Structure 1
Amino acid sequence: MTSPIEKLREYGYELPAPKVPVASYVPVARSGNLLYVSGQISANDQGVVTGLLGDTMNVVQGGNAAELSALNVLSQIVHAAGVPLEDIKRIVKVTVLVASTPDFTEQHLVANGCSNLLVAILGEKGKHARAAFGVASLPFGAAVEIEAIVEV
């Protein structure tokens, strides 16, 4: 059976180093068997992926940014919470914030970048409830921010 880390590599990804909080919060809070992962922006080793859906970015680019945010969620689970990906019982819910123009209405398609990656990496455990909505702006000009509730 292929491990989640091996599946990440099949998609061309390595688990990134966790992003350090830049304000007064923790990256992950645990209550019983639930992890509450703070919002993770679309960023990689090269920096923050910035943009505004409906203006400077299209849906495909937004979906790619959502994948990066999902990778950062997984990184926080492993590094900040100390939970191996194999120990995830289920991704319960993700909330996807998409920086977008007022007339952009395809936030759900951008969010698929996150959802599809989680299912590809974790299988049935990656299927989740979801909310996706547009916002005027995100920290550091990020295109996408994702928070998650995870059962371990």
Structure 2
Amino acid sequence: MSANIEARLAELGLTLPEPAAPVASYVPAVEAGGLLHISGQLPFVAGTLVTGRLGESVSLEQGIEAAQACGVMILAQAKAALGSLDRVTRVVKLGGFVNSTGDFTDQPKVVNGASDLMMAVFGEAGRHARSAVGVPVLPLGAAVEVDAILQVSA
């Protein structure tokens, strides 16, 4: 990691965890055509998967924290795939999936947890396109899942 990114993570009080292993038949990241595609990452807070549904058993604040945890895991997967976060030149897009009830409509606020993290870590290069979608269930009962597309240097 670059000294700047490393220092920024430290300022934010973040330590990258070991990247999570895939839970099915896929790889965590694929680099192609100058882009790094990161598979959907689940929210682990203090080593425990955040499960449940927004609008039911998970509060908005817990959902935001879960989305941030997904963002931290995206960074861990990127570092593992690239060898260094120095190679990230832009966060292109995040896809956010929120396990939520039919009447919960704050999916964008939840996914801000991951979006705000990318902007805090990468500055202007962290600004990105995004989707935030409510879904009735996620793998392992997770509350949130976030995937990413990052532009990378050679």
Indicate the TM-score class for this superposition, using the shorter chain for normalisation: over 0.9
Q: Which residues of 2 match residues 62-101 of structure 1 at below 5 A?
A: 62-79=63-80, 81-101=81-101
SS at match of 1:3: helix
Is residue 58 from structure 1 mapped to residue 51 from structure 2 by the alignment?
A: no
Q: 1:127: which partner in 2?
A: 127
Q: CA deviation at 1:86?
A: 2.0
Q: Report the residue type matching 2:88 in the other structure.
A: I
Identify unmatched segments of 5+ residues in structure 2.
Answer: none
Q: 2:48: which partner in 1?
A: 47
Question: Can you list the C-alpha shifts for 1:71-110, whole angstroms capped at 9, x where unaligned?
Answer: 111111111x124112211010000000100100000000
Distance in 2, matches of 1:22 and 1:111, equals 22
Q: Report the residue type matching 2:104 in the other structure.
A: F
Q: Report the residue type matching 1:107 in the other structure.
A: Q
Distance 1:144 1:12, change over 3 A: same
* Structure 2 length-normalised TM: 0.93
Q: Report the residue type matching 2:8 in the other structure.
A: K
Q: Is the 8 A contact 2:41 2:73 kept in 1?
A: yes
Compute the RMSD of aligned alpha carbons.
1.4
Q: CA deviation at 1:111?
A: 0.7
Is residue 114 from structure 1 mapped to residue 114 from structure 2 by the alignment?
A: yes
Q: CA deviation at 1:60?
A: 1.2
Q: Report the residue type matching 1:133 in the other structure.
A: V
Q: 2:105: which partner in 1?
A: 105
SS at match of 2:82: coil
Distance in 1, matches of 2:62 and 2:127, equals 22
Identify unmatched segments of 5+ residues in structure 1.
Answer: none
Q: Is the 8 A contact 2:45 2:66 kept in 1?
A: no
Q: Report the residue type matching 2:140 in the other structure.
A: F
Is residue 8 from structure 1 mapped to residue 9 from structure 2 by the alignment?
A: yes
Q: How many residues align?
A: 151
Distance 1:2 1:120, change over 3 A: farther
Q: Is the 8 A contact 1:16 1:44 kept in 2?
A: no
Distance in 1, matches of 2:125 and 2:72, equals 15
Deviates more, 1:4-13 or 1:116-125: 4-13
Q: CA deviation at 1:37?
A: 0.4
* Structure 1 length-normalised TM: 0.94
